[in-house]
Each structure stands twice: as C-alpha cells, then as structure tokens.
Amino acid sequence: MFSKACEYGIRASIYIGQQSADQGRRVGLRDIATEIGSPEAFTAKVLQLLVRAGLVTSVKGPTGGFELTAEQLRTVTLREIVVAIDGGEMLQGCALGLRQCSARQPCPMHYQFLPIRDQLNELLRTHTIGELAGKVHDGLGFLKQFS
C-alpha cells in the first residue's frame, strides 16, 4: 500500500508525537528506530523529509532530537505525511496505470475504484498524528511487534 519509507515515516511520527504529548519528551534517532523497529540510518533520511516539509521539528546538539509542537500534534494529518514521502501519485493515479483516467476516458474499473479511493483520502485527511499518538499512549495501538 505505502512504501517502506512511508511506513517508517508514519510510525516514527506517531512515536515522536506520543513522546512529545507525554510530558514534552524529545526523542533521538536511536530511540525512535528501536521503538518502531526500523533501520536507523534509513529512518533518518525519512525524518529529514518530514522536517523539511515542516511536519516534524528537529533540534541539534546534546538534549536535541525530534519532537512535535503542540500545533503539529493538533494539525498534521496522516495525509500530509504520506504526500511528503510518497507523493500524491497513489492517492490520485489510475488503478490500472492510465495516465489520464477520468470520466472522459475511464479505465474499466474507474467508477468502481473512485469511492474506495475517496474513502482512503478521507481517512488520511481526518486523522491527526496527535490523535493516533493518544491511541498508542492509551495502549490501544502499537507501533512495533512485541512477542
């Protein structure tokens, strides 16, 4: 569904958000990678994308790390994360790969896929990182497999 980069980006954002909401704790890369079960260096690249897009905040030096401001927790949606990493392609493009699939020249599945894609967009648009972080905080969601 999403690229690995995007999966890591979402999980990392939620973890950072959870730690930020929970007494404003700033978290380092090592910690993030450990807690979401992702490759550290690759996760760093993904986070740089999110920082440049203004979706995550980073601070250098000792006591530095990543955090989400109160505003980011409240306003950044899953959709923004996905678009920043994977681009809008997957959320708009034709399921069968036609470059200009529309009502004018629809692919045979065009009208069947439309409602599903719309729901997916709506889903991503209506969930903030802060909300998802809360779920993890309450033990209602997990970012890694504990076995």
Partner DNA sequence: TGATTACCGGATATATTTGTCCGGTATTTG
Partner DNA sequence: CAAATACCGGACAAATATATCCGGTAATCA
Applying CB under 7 A, the site for DNA has a residue count of: 27
Q: Which residues of 86-95 are buried (b: 16+ CB within 10 A; e: fewer)?
A: beeeeeeebe
Spatial contact of 66 and 16, defined as CB atoms under 8 Å apart: yes
139 binds, among a second copy, DNA, none (CB under 5 to 8 A by kind): none
Per rule CB under 8 A, is residue 27 in the interface with a second copy?
Answer: no
127 binds a second copy (CB under 8 A): yes
Is residue 114 near a second copy by the rule CB under 8 A? no
Where on the chain is the footprint of a second copy (CB under 8 A)? 1-2, 4, 7-8, 10-11, 14, 78, 90, 93, 95-100, 105-110, 112-113, 115-116, 119-120, 123, 127, 132, 135-136, 140-147
